[in-house]
Amino acid sequence: MPKTAERVQQLGSGIFSELDVLRKQKEQEGVKTINLSIGSPDLPPAAHIKKALQAEMDNSNNYGYPLTDGLPAFKEAVAQWYEKRFQVPLNPGTEVLPVMGSQDGLGHLGLAYLNPGDIALVPDPGYPVYTAGVLLAGGVKYPLPLVAENKFLPDLQAIPREIAWAAKLMYLNYPNNPVAAIADLDFFEEAVAFAKEYDLILCHDLAYSELAYDGYRPPSLLEVPGAKDVAIEFHSFSKTFCMAGCRLGFVVGNQEIIEGLATVKSNIDFGVFKPIQKAGIAALTGPDDWVKENAAIYQRRRDILVDGLNALGWQIEKPKASMFVWAPLPYGYTSSMQFSLDLLEKTGVVVVPGVAFGEQGDRYVRMALVVEENLLEEAVARIGRAFASFSSSVAGELP
């Protein structure tokens, strides 16, 4: 049997599957695990979305090839939602493209714009599909370290000029997965100016725009005047509308960049199933109170977990957005994998070692707020019991 291509051999280390094997082993030993590893929303979509999907499934006209370009009504609904939510006007005919989950578009963008050996600037730690897309296209990743000292924003001025000139693409993601940091419009302005100066495509991933807390409303990068000259922005129905399994997202912004991506996609897929696009229209145009209620549920979960762990002596910052908590390793640990394994062994709580998202993540673990409040309370209680010495020895001494 021939070996997989070298580009495939470079891909992810499979930490998620490794963790799942260990989690299942624990379950077999009779331990009820609490899984805070995968960021898949546990809440259901609203009734009006499910109803739209059901009705469209009954319509026999919806079973032909949908085509990559997408339904005009879907793109119109996206443009209206962007105008209402961010006051960003979009031409639905040329500046909007549906994707099969934002992962699809993010993963294929490199194929549209990177020749073998071309450089892409990728946050480290970062959501893994940016790196995967770059590597699958034969590109080279230049990591942008996200560190606490810089509020987990990349220091654009620290990028060597020759790298910035050689690079073609830069990925950004705020609110961020995994570090749960946010960015304001000043930073986005700097990023747009940087992309213009160095002739870069700026790709912003806005998957978590609606999961924000304490009244905070994340901005769109396209709010920056002139951003559309260089930027595209991805959005996902997975988190905002709890439709992760439907595989629906969209990309908006620069027409030419979107056309490049559409050309790649039209050669390998036939678009998103029409009933799903129509359920998407129902989500975008329907009542949105429940989206805010969902955010309130995540906010309560955040408070239970972060307040609970901090009461044990841990020092974790409360995120303003996203569905994650980015926790520094307790005193005494230097490897995120080692701490995650210890935590699973001692408590049955599953978290993701930060190194799964890049080298810079190795001093942290990521916890996803995807279980109910009572289970988060239970997780805190178990950690408190298992790390009795941890709580007393680490107070005030976290890295």
Could you tell me where the DSSP H helices lie in 255-387?
Answer: 255-268, 274-285, 289-311, 336-347, 373-386
For residues 148 to 187, the per-residue mask of contacts with ligand PLP, x marking binding by CB under 6 A and - elsewhere, is -------------------------x---x----------
Q: Does 353 help bind ligand PLP (rule: CB under 6 A)? A: no
SS3 track for 108-155: HHHHHHCCCCCEEEEEECCCCHHHHHHHHCCCEEEEEECCHHHCCCCC
Residue span binding ligand PLP (CB under 6 A) among the ranges 20-28, 95-103, 179-187, 293-301: 95-103
How many positions of this chain bind ligand PLP (CB under 6 A)? 13
User: How far is it, in rounded angstroms, from Cα 115 to Cα 137?
Assistant: 7
How far apart are the C-alpha atoms of 158 and 36, rounded to whole Å?
Answer: 34
Among 39, 66, 218, 260, the residue binding ligand PLP under the rule CB under 6 A is 39
| Cβ closest to ligand PLP, residue 103 vs residue 347 | 103
Please say which residue, 326 or 333, places its beta carbon nearer to ligand PLP. Answer: 326
List of long-range contacts for 151-156, beta carbons under 8 Å, 24+ apart: 151/181, 152/176, 152/179, 152/181, 153/181, 153/183, 153/187, 154/121, 154/123, 156/190, 156/191, 156/194
By beta-carbon proximity to ligand PLP, the closer residue of 31 and 297 is 297
Q: Does 244 bind ligand PLP (CB under 6 A)?
A: yes
Establish if 102 lies at the interface with ligand PLP (CB under 6 A): yes
Minimum CB–partner distance for residue 160 and ligand PLP (Å) = 26
Q: Give CA–CA dist 117/63, Å, rounded.
A: 41
Binds ligand PLP by CB under 6 A, chosen from 90, 207, 355, 383: 207
C-alpha separations of 118 from 109, 135, 161 in Å? 13, 10, 15
For ligand PLP, the nearest residue by Cβ is: 101
Q: Is 205 in the site for ligand PLP (CB under 6 A)?
A: yes
Rule CB under 6 A: is residue 249 a binding residue for ligand PLP? yes
Position among 127, 152, 241, 390 found at the interface with ligand PLP (CB under 6 A): 127
Q: Does 220 bind ligand PLP (CB under 6 A)?
A: no
Q: In this complex, which beta carbon is closest to ligand PLP, that of residue 250 or of residue 333?
A: 250
Strand partners, 171: 203
* In the block, residue with structure tokens 């009572």: 374
Nearer to ligand PLP, 102 or 391 (CB): 102
Which residues of this chain interact with ligand PLP, rule CB under 6 A? Answer: 39, 101-103, 127, 173, 177, 205, 207, 236, 238, 244, 249
